[in-house]
Amino acid sequence: MNLSAADHRRPLSDGNHIPILGLGTYSDPKSTSGGDCVAAVKAAIDIGYRHFDGAFLYKNEHEVGEAIRTKIAEGTVTREEIFYCGKLWATKLVPEMVRPALEKTLGALQLDYVDLYIIEMPMALQPGDNPYPRDEHGKWIYYKSNLCAVWEVECHPYFTQPKLLKFCQQHDIVIVGYSPLGTSRNPSWVNVSSPPLLKDAYLNSLGQKYNKTAAQVALRFNIQRGVVVIPKSFNIARMRENFQIFDFSLTEEEMKNVEGLNKNVRFVELLMWSDHPEYPFHDEY
């Protein structure tokens, strides 16, 4: 695999390509000002990012779209060079709801198409416009959907997913690893009792060796083994940092050592839905 800042796409079996590094665009609306996302996505395009991971649920798809359209209008990029991934939320897992949900995403983005549209999570909640439906006792309202699951996968040095990766490689399936830096550690959706990935001593020592940070080593590890990563940052210095992973490589032994850091730590456990009949994480992958 030849990965460079200018071209780091992985071919997909349908003839399309996916850039192996993308920008995650979820930012807690409570702590994010309007306009931050537009500025971040524009800066990311200037840095060289071409892949953007978003969702209607994130409430900022209109900002991602505005940034992309501005950069296309300025002539910095073409639509064909951009890869946008949108997501269908759990309250829309009914066949008739898919197209209107996608159209809402396209309307928010003001783009003609998305490059990838995935099921955000394989557990359905009561269909409708309330994204977090609960009954009068505060209990989540689950829904039985007929799901042919398409599922993106948490993946980082503390959760390296060896079995799943091997299976996908054998079947020519590209994995997109979410939370590649170990998340923002927001206690409302992250298991914060788990050890912080970026404080890992070995990742930091490799960083020192290559004059890189633990974050860059964690990202390099995944792209070097073909896993697409979508680190989120709205901070220009960190976006730049996360993009500078094409100018060094880990040795085979270092790759094995990082793989050995695996602790099966899943940061995003979604335990509030652990009694959902389709809860995905009881199964081994």
State how far the Cα of 271 lies from the Cα of 285, in Å rounded to an integer: 17
Q: Are strands 153-154 and 17-19 parallel, antiparallel or unpaired?
A: unpaired
The C-alpha angle 46, 156, 149, rounded to 5 degrees, equals 90
Look at residue 107 and give its three-state secondary structure: helix
- CA Rg, the chain, in Å? 19
CB of 155 to ligand A2P, least distance (A): 10
- Is the CB of 160 or the CB of 179 nearer to ligand A2P? 179
Q: Answer positive or negative: Cα dihedral of 164, 170, 175, 180.
A: positive
Give me 263's structure tokens. Answer: 């602790």
Strands (E), 55-184: 83-88, 116-119, 153-154, 176-178
CB of 44 to ligand A2P, least distance (A): 11
CB of 229 to ligand A2P, least distance (A): 8
> Is residue 58 flagged as an active site residue?
yes
CB of 278 to ligand A2P, least distance (A): 24
CA 12 and chain centroid, separation = 17
State how far the Cα of 203 lies from the Cα of 187, in Å rounded to an integer: 24
- Is the CB of 74 or the CB of 247 nearer to ligand A2P? 247
- Is the CB of 148 or the CB of 201 nearer to ligand A2P? 201
Residue 10: partners with Cβ closer than 8 Å, 6 or more residues away: 1, 17, 18, 19, 20, 174, 226, 228
- Is the CB of 160 or the CB of 213 nearer to ligand A2P? 213
Q: Are strands 9-11 and 23-24 parallel, antiparallel or unpaired?
A: unpaired
- Is the CB of 224 or the CB of 242 nearer to ligand A2P? 242
Chain positions contacting ligand A2P, by CB under 6 A? 24, 179-184, 198, 213, 215, 231-235, 238, 241-242
CB of 213 to ligand A2P, least distance (A): 6
Q: Of 58, 84, 142, 158, which one is the catalytic site residue? A: 58
Active site residues: 58
